[in-house]
Amino acid sequence: MRALVLHSENELPRLEDVPQPKPASGELLIKVSASGMNFADTMMRRGVYLQKPKFPFIPGFEFSGVVETTGDRVMGMCSSGYAEYVTVPAAQVMPVPPHFSDEEAAAFPVTYLTAMGMLRLNGNAQAGETVLIHAAAGGVGTAATQLAKALGLRVIGTASTEEKLALARQQGADVGINYKTGDWTVPVMEATANRGVDIVLESVGGDSLARDIQVIGPFGRIIVFGSAGGPSPDPPTGALFKNSAGVSAFWMTTLMKERHRLGAVLHELLALVAKAHLRPVIGRVYPLAEGATAMQDLESRRTMGKLLLKPA
């Protein structure tokens, strides 16, 4: 089969012929329809992710496809998803919602479970609260905006261009802020009548966390799930006392290990998606052969929505 293979840090993946995987006991062999791309894939290739891959390896954390033995359309979490076939534990496979295309199904598992996990488990989000979502036009950002609105939250989204802010507003953002035009903390405080926000979804890195603390409201919750712009300095904990606020972190691998929490989040998520008829935002679909270009585009942070790879 064909797959994208990474041979060492700081290289780009190459399309190669590799042996087709064989399912172990309890696993399913999936013919991949599409693979979702995530910023974590780019961090792994640069050697800055929490998990260090053993080279050579095939990246890819999520997929949509067809079970070889039954023909069922499925989606789910995986490893080595940038390939024509993947083997997955049966417990990690979900049926595709009837209104999803193959591309939408591949864009769903990581982004929506990440967004829902943060809002519910770390954020304890309640209707009527305000959430600040950075990178609101990205894969997780658009998913989080949709879910937050479906849960009854007010959404303030930040992005780097007016085009990205327009997309965030289309997904339901109540306020859009271009962080390139000035200090974004000022319009956030203005939009909340100087009270601050209840929840922040932080993925920017750098000095963004320190600014999040400036805009967090009483008993607010800042949830860190990425550092696209580089690592953040340790938070100034003294500043958190002002509003009795807290900083926590979210990593999908932790949720995958906590089966009872995963089941509860997934049950609520799928019910919400069906009720609100939510659909992932697809930014661009690349053929598998253009995986290196797709990864560079993702790393540029100029893209919007979810990027996907298709084997055929």
Residue ranges covered by each domain of the chain? 2-108+280-310, 112-253
pLDDT band at 122 (very low <50, low <70, confident <90, very high): very high
Grouping H, G, I as helix, E, B as strand and the rest as coil, residue 203 is coil
Q: How much is the pLDDT for 48?
A: 83
Whole-number Å distance between alpha carbons of 193 and 60: 43
pLDDT band at 31 (very low <50, low <70, confident <90, very high): very high
CB 199 within 8 A of CB 180: no
Q: How much is the pLDDT for 144?
A: 98
Report phi then psi at 272, rounded to 5: -70, -40
Please count the other Cβ atoms lying within 10 Å of the Cβ belonging to residue 232. Answer: 18
Handedness of CA 228, 116, 189, 172 (dihedral sign): positive
Contacts of 250 (CB under 8 A, 6+ apart): 114, 117, 118, 121, 122, 223, 224, 225
Whole-number Å distance between alpha carbons of 163 and 15: 33
Report the CATH fold assignment for 112-253: Rossmann fold (3.40.50)
pLDDT band at 186 (very low <50, low <70, confident <90, very high): very high
Q: What is the pLDDT of residues 46-85, one digit of tens each?
A: 888 888 888 999 999 999 999 999 999 999 999 999 999 9
Q: What is the pLDDT of residues 254-271, one digit of tens each?
A: 999 999 999 999 999 999
Angle between helices 109-117 and 259-276 (to 10 degrees): 110
Host H or E run for residue 130: strand 130-133
* pLDDT over 80 at 233, yes or no: no
CATH code 3.90.180.10 for 2-108+280-310: yes
pLDDT band at 146 (very low <50, low <70, confident <90, very high): very high
